[in-house]
A = this chain, B = another copy of it.
Amino acid sequence: MTSRSADAPGTGSAGTGNGPAVSRREFDALFDAVRTWGRWTPADRGAWNRVTADHVRRATAAVRSGVVVPLALPWNTRPGPDNRRAALHHMTDLGDVESPEPSTYKDFIGADYHGKGVTHLDALCHIAYRGRLYDGRPAGDVVGAAGARFGAVSALGPLVTRGVLLDLPAVLGIRWLEPGRAVHAADVTAAERALGVTVGEGDAVLLRSGHVRRRAELGAWDPGTASAGFHVDAVPLLAGRGVALLGGDGDSDVRPSPVEGVHSPVHALAVAAMGVPLLDNLDLEALSAAAAEAGRYEFLLVVAPLKVPGGTGSPVNPVAVL
């Protein structure tokens, strides 16, 4: 990988573009450098194996104010540029189907939730690189029309750990990162310093770019085309810290991808190489405000995916407790 200062003119001004460009060969070396295949048992909990009962105890003990902040976007049934496969919500009883008393009101929900419209967790079977899921499992052998036999969300269970908010707009004194802005290792360490928090073993790292605020003010856009997120050059730092989970108000990847021939390189590194599930499409606005008010960017984070056997992830409503 070329150094950041080598950013070609035209890929954006230094620090605001998605570069530097990364060749496929560089990417593959990076993939090998961060991968943890063979390290964990059970393998399909991946990096969540890092979160021991000790981590859980410390994370719960670190609660201060008791303020609870949910991180999910509203279930979105309207299609749009960031909601290509709109979620379903159908009322199935309006007090007139099941006999009263009492009368009952029921609904059906459904979603093809991967994408940009639904807050969700990616399980380890969601991503394969060069045909292999995390731990080197051949995707073609273990995922079929009935679901995944390795790396399913049902194998993950819930996560209770310390969360850290990397609130880049707060650090930079701006309203949001523009779509396409890459977040680099230096941004992470600068944020740690500015926010008074250090990412450590077993942590859930949530990257706020201000996506939801920008959408509220300027309207929706297609995050597949342009989105703020991590450049792959930030991944070795996060890997070295032993993170358990990455999340964000985007999907962790800067887009357009700076990596030749790889549309979602952070997905490939985190999920397939490191066994780190991802939380996509969070609403981090209220958490940003609460953290600023508390002057504290760490909190208890609870992520409780639905237990879908063979599932590739789950819609979730992660909960931060400050």
Contact = CB atoms under 8 A, between A and B. Distances in A.
B157 A70 contact: yes
A32 B143 CA distance: 33
A315 B130 CA distance: 35
B158 A319 contact: yes
A160 B306 contact: no
A211 to B, nearest CB: 17
Interface string A138-168: 0110011111100000100110100000000
Q: How many copies does the complex hold?
A: 4
A110 interface: yes
Given A60-B61, A79-B86, A147-B89, A316 B300 contact: no
A75 B144 contact: no
A321 B304 CA distance: 12
Contacts of A312: 91, 105-107
Interface in A259-273: 261-264, 267-268, 271-272
Interface string A292-322: 0000000010101111111111111111010
A140 to B, nearest CB: 7
A214 interface: no
Interface stretch (A35-43, A94-102, A179-187): A94-102
A300 B89 contact: no
A203 to B, nearest CB: 15
Nearest to A55: B66
A57 B68 contact: no
A125 B106 CA distance: 9
Interface of A: 52-57, 60-61, 63-68, 70, 72-75, 78-80, 83-86, 88-114, 119, 125-131, 139-140, 143-148, 154, 157-158, 160, 261-264, 267-268, 271-272, 300, 302, 304-319, 321
